[in-house]
Structure 1
Amino acid sequence: MTTYSTAPIGGQKPGTSGLRKKTPVFMGPNYLENFVQATFDAIGGVSGKTLVLGGDGRYFGAEAAQVILKMAAANGAARVIVGQGAWLSTPAASNLIRARGADGGLILSASHNPGGPNEDFGVKYNMANGGPAPEAVTEAIYARTQEIAEYRKLEAPDVNLTAIGESHLDAMVVEVVDPVLAYADLMETLFDFKALRGLFHEGFTMRMDAMCAITGPYAVEIFENRLGAAPGTVVHETPLPDFGGMHPDPNPTWAHELMAELMGEGAPDFGAASDGDGDRNMILGPGCYVSPSDSLAVIAANAHLVPGYAGGLKGVARSMPTSAAVDRVAEALGIDCYETPTGWKFFGNLMDAGRVSLCGEESFGTGSDHVREKDGLWAVLMWLNIIAARGQGVAEILADHWARFGRNYYSRHDYEALPTDVATAMLDDLRDRLSGLLGRAVSGLVIAGADEFTYTDPVDGSVSARQGFRILFEGGSRVVLRLSGTGTEGATLRVYLERYVPGPEGLDEDPQAALDPIIVATEEIVGIRARTGRAGPDVIT
């Protein structure tokens, strides 16, 4: 064991899901070591503890895993459970932490961000419940990075992470496990695999785009090996360090091959995609795209058809920018619906307290209390199980849902890599004008409320302020604006647009056309295009 002198490195503040920077930054002298040691120190050390370690296979992940193993050994950890090849999807890591009773885990991923020598890398710490570290812990980690003076690391050869089994780093046990097996087994306990095998046996067709990311091996094992889907159902199934040059974000912009196939002639019955670390999802039917907000609402309304949720839901939760579609389902079911800030860590307390079974956020994340992370393949299996139980396709299920609950037209417009000072000044100006917006008529819409969202956790009473701006219009429409915490370059402004139509008329419009009054009003109120010089958003989902 060697203790190395170091000094604080600026900017090591975790965002909504760990620390994300450009890969060359993480590869710089002491950068990774400082952050890992600060994490160990902030959680009270790792002496005698068991940790889980793995990631999405992106560039520098294998090397980072070796560094972390040697640091864990030098800091006295008893055991580290590692996915073979340093691979673990984020939901699989959460499951392993919970199933093995580990004290926590480190996940090497920048989620949906591109990977490669000059792209993005990330590290985040998950707690003993399997969920992302709460703000109190991430703040403690950041504070420690600002005062760190040394880190500890064992000088030893690299561990063989290709062979399943146990080895030692000094006194610490390194246990290499199959990264897929425990997760796939968990899915069999939640879903009706017999019915799903029957679905594929009867000729049901599907395309699953793994986007050259970590979901590939999981999807092949579950859909093709266990459920009997045709070979080739899963495409881009091999995880690559640079995701094959893809942007591994499952949305209509980046999963364009899948979109073209499902919107074209001879489309399969069902389409889905997942992201870099396997926690996001996109759902499609022939000629039909399901917004994440609608997906959450449909899953909530039909969860009773799935074996793992047949007893009913305890409650549901959604991030504040997510549409209110699931709120209407919760009201009909007579269960609680919680509104939280963006970031899966805010759902953990609610799930641990037994208040909610199902959670979702607008950024293509859906999950339940089977783990403490959002889970892309779980969401795909929920849809497949609902399709099998109802005997309907995606479009029919959506139409029935809107006929019953009305439709929340919804879209997210992203303005990426804005100059940080420009984006910050624009929202600071909006903050100063909020109180004067009430009652104002804008492009034919009347503003019924405007605020900056503050969340008080109903379980522990913690308060999270400045979580996004809400402008509410009469009739149930609204716009939400916030700066994303997942980017690594400049600032990403996310604009969430929502318009509620109760039906029965007006349920089959094009979403962008239906939202046009909200889009025009937002520009008049905020002046995004005028102040940034952008002709429009970079990504529309």
Structure 2
Amino acid sequence: MNNMPSQTVNIREVQTTPFEGQKPGTSGLRKRVKVFQQEHYTENFIQATLSAIPDGPAGATLIVGGDGRYFLKEAIQKIIRLSAGNKVSKLVIGRNGIFSTPAVSNLIRKRKATGGILLTASHNPGGPDNDFGIKFNMSNGGPAPESVTDKIYQITTKISSYKEADIPEVDLSELGTKSFGDLTVEVIDSVDDYVLLMKEIFDFDMLRSFFKKRSSFKVLFDSLHGVTGPYGKRLLVDELGLPASSVMNSEPLEDFGGGHPDPNLTYAHDLVERVEKENIDFGAASDGDGDRNMIIGKGAFVNPSDSVALIAAYADAIPYFKKSGLKGLARSMPTSGALDRVAKKKGVQIFEVPTGWKFFGNLMDAGKCSVCGEESFGTGSDHIREKDGVWAILAWLSIVAYASESNPNVSLNDILNKHYEEYGRNFFSRYDYEEVDSEGANKVMAHLTAFINDKSNIGKKIENYEVALADNFEYKDPIDGSVSKNQGIRIIFKDGSRIVFRLSGTGSQGATVRLYVEKYSAKDYKQDTQTAIQDLIKIALDLSKLVEFTGRKEPTVIT
């Protein structure tokens, strides 16, 4: 496909009618594959997305790719045809359509592109009967703000036609460029630029030296048959010299091998079992599109809330931060306060924001945040404007290598315990009740809303806890002044312990009720998390009447 001469194209206007429910969130539009396969459905949404580009689609440069899930290749061909029909100037597409979300964010910024179209439903299952998603990212590399997603939605409610070009299917397996009228399509190896970025951020010489000195140190990375397999192989095996056996499930598959590409202790069970059985020192997993991560080791689990706190605490282990310094730290509201304690000690500002990476992006664009994270296994920094699973894994390997200079046989548990000795421990857990009947889920939230609206509950004693604050979290963005309301019901106790409830819209069926529980201990940090928080779990279930309203006696996932 290298540098073929431009082909003349015929552009036609196709008549269509609106579909209900094409309202994207910050994670884009997510529906079952069969919904996207309806005639005109995907084209309508892509046309609306192109039309909503702030300066219009004509002359735009867009980065395009996704997590390899079912329907990816068909969707990309539609994007190519509609881009040509709307006079887009250039599409840069990952080979075979494969492109991790962090790598897209990086390339948007590096190429100074207009934006990107990401084809992913992130950590949701894939396959003909499962999920697909389409998301638009802006020129800063981050998810589109509500002003743009609202515009996309408004266009979908009134759309009567879309423009597409009659062009042949583009071979996405062949690197090179091809032109169709005004449109140039460039197919690239999506790993190359990302590897260059990681080499600018981390000390690869230090990492190689560590692995040589400690040749018995075992690493196992599980990409869960998502997008990061090629990235993991290139970085861990080719660049850092680890054996090929250090990566598992590294081939991207349309159905993720029948698994659930969500890096947690439940869905990454094969990794968890192997880490324990084979005495793996460092285990890691990432999700379908590569923006989430999990870090574990033999007998050790790094809670995501602790993960971002430790990365910030060990910023000097990473040349990127050693050079630029920490400009500020940020976490999502449900995430534990462990990061707040690091911010206080380092004398930098801490921000508590709603769930959604765009809020971090605003802070980063304003130079106010260097490291950020959320409890849902998302960690990142201002090197891009998305969370970044592979970056977090390299950050943790850097922490281990750095800590080994004073303790040659250091383990993950040693690193965690040293941190808890210094900062205390925020015991934290999340209970997910997935695909709950929407009516029952709404009853839970209505019941909790009545509790927080009753001001007589402030100061009320519940078991051994006294209610200090009860509200629905509201955030005023310090950068653009926008206000985000109803971001999660919080019940905060006098000792700093918290219960948080949120309804999540990241799935495509029913509702997901998320319960977050946190308890701080300055000294007794070695007890089991679930043991430490059981009294708060009981209080949360009693207060919410969750079992009564939903019929769910057990959560789907505990993290």
Contact 2:67 2:98 in 1 (8 A): yes
How many angstroms does 1:293 deviate by?
Answer: 0.1
Q: Among 117, 133, 142, which residue is 1:122 paired with?
A: 133
Deviations 1:309-365 (A, max 9, x none): 113210011110100100000000000111111111111110000000111011000
Instruction: For 2:259, give the aligned amino acid.
Output: M
Contact 2:443 2:549 in 1 (8 A): no
Matches within 5 A, 1:368-383: 368-383=381-396
Aligned to 1:145: 156
Q: Among 298, 316, 328, which residue is 1:286 paired with?
A: 298
How many angstroms does 1:435 deviate by?
Answer: 2.8
The secondary structure found in structure 2 opposite 1:310 is helix
Deviations 1:21-71 (A, max 9, x none): 001111111111111111111224210110100001100001100100110
Indicate whether 1:499 and 2:519 are aligned.
yes
Contact 2:26 2:145 in 1 (8 A): no
Aligned to 2:7: none
The secondary structure found in structure 1 opposite 2:509 is coil
Contact 1:442 1:524 in 2 (8 A): no
Matches within 5 A, 1:369-518: 369-391=382-404, 392-436=410-454, 437-503=457-523, 506-518=524-536
Q: Among 49, 56, 72, which residue is 1:61 paired with?
A: 72
Matches within 5 A, 1:141-540: 141-202=152-213, 203=215, 204-264=217-277, 266-311=278-323, 312-391=325-404, 392-436=410-454, 437-503=457-523, 506-540=524-558
Deviations 1:381-422 (A, max 9, x none): 000011111103211110010001110000000001011122
Aligned to 1:77: 88
Q: Count the aligned residue pairs.
A: 538
The secondary structure found in structure 2 opposite 1:254 is coil
Contact 1:201 1:228 in 2 (8 A): no
Contact 1:16 1:342 in 2 (8 A): no
State the distance in 2 between where 1:169 and 1:484 align: 41
State the distance in 2 between where 1:39 and 1:409 align: 42
Instruction: For 1:510, give the aligned amino acid.
Output: D
State the distance in 1 between where 2:362 and 2:441 align: 32
State the distance in 2 between where 1:501 and 1:140 align: 46
Aligned to 2:112: 101
Contact 2:327 2:369 in 1 (8 A): yes
The secondary structure found in structure 2 opposite 1:515 is helix
The secondary structure found in structure 1 opposite 2:129 is coil
Contact 1:318 1:340 in 2 (8 A): yes
How many angstroms does 1:138 deviate by?
Answer: 1.1
How many angstroms does 1:256 deviate by?
Answer: 0.5
Aligned to 1:27: 37
State the distance in 2 between where 1:26 and 1:199 align: 48
Contact 1:293 1:323 in 2 (8 A): yes
Instruction: For 2:498, give the aligned amino acid.
Output: R
How many angstroms does 1:144 deviate by?
Answer: 1.4
The secondary structure found in structure 1 opposite 2:334 is coil
Contact 2:26 2:143 in 1 (8 A): no
Contact 1:219 1:377 in 2 (8 A): yes
The secondary structure found in structure 1 opposite 2:314 is helix
Structure 2 unaligned blocks of 5 or more: 1-10, 405-409
Contact 1:70 1:169 in 2 (8 A): no
How many angstroms does 1:428 deviate by?
Answer: 2.0
Contact 1:367 1:374 in 2 (8 A): yes
How many angstroms does 1:261 deviate by?
Answer: 2.0
State the distance in 2 between where 1:435 and 1:115 align: 41
Instruction: For 2:77, give the aligned amino acid.
Output: Q
State the distance in 2 between where 1:168 and 1:25 align: 31
State the distance in 2 between where 1:515 and 1:137 align: 41
State the distance in 2 between where 1:59 and 1:316 align: 37
Contact 1:445 1:521 in 2 (8 A): no
Contact 2:82 2:163 in 1 (8 A): yes
How many angstroms does 1:304 deviate by?
Answer: 1.5
Contact 1:51 1:81 in 2 (8 A): yes
State the distance in 1 between where 2:492 and 2:275 align: 35
State the distance in 1 between where 2:488 and 2:212 align: 47
% identical equivalent positions: 50
State the distance in 2 between where 1:364 and 1:87 align: 22
State the distance in 1 between where 2:101 and 2:374 align: 16
How many angstroms does 1:16 deviate by?
Answer: 3.4
Instruction: For 2:558, give the aligned amino acid.
Output: I
Aligned to 1:9: 19
Contact 2:219 2:281 in 1 (8 A): yes
Instruction: For 2:522, give the aligned amino acid.
Output: P
State the distance in 2 between where 1:157 and 1:535 align: 53
State the distance in 2 between where 1:28 and 1:10 align: 13
State the distance in 2 between where 1:435 and 1:159 align: 57
Instruction: For 1:213, give the aligned amino acid.
Output: G
Deviations 1:494-534 (A, max 9, x none): 1111001111xx21111111011110110121111121111
Contact 1:317 1:338 in 2 (8 A): yes
Aligned to 1:43: 53
Contact 1:409 1:500 in 2 (8 A): yes
How many angstroms does 1:433 deviate by?
Answer: 2.4
Query: Root-mean-square deviation (CA), in Å?
Result: 1.0
Structure 1 unaligned blocks of 5 or more: none
State the distance in 1 between where 2:429 and 2:52 align: 39
State the distance in 2 between where 1:98 and 1:242 align: 30
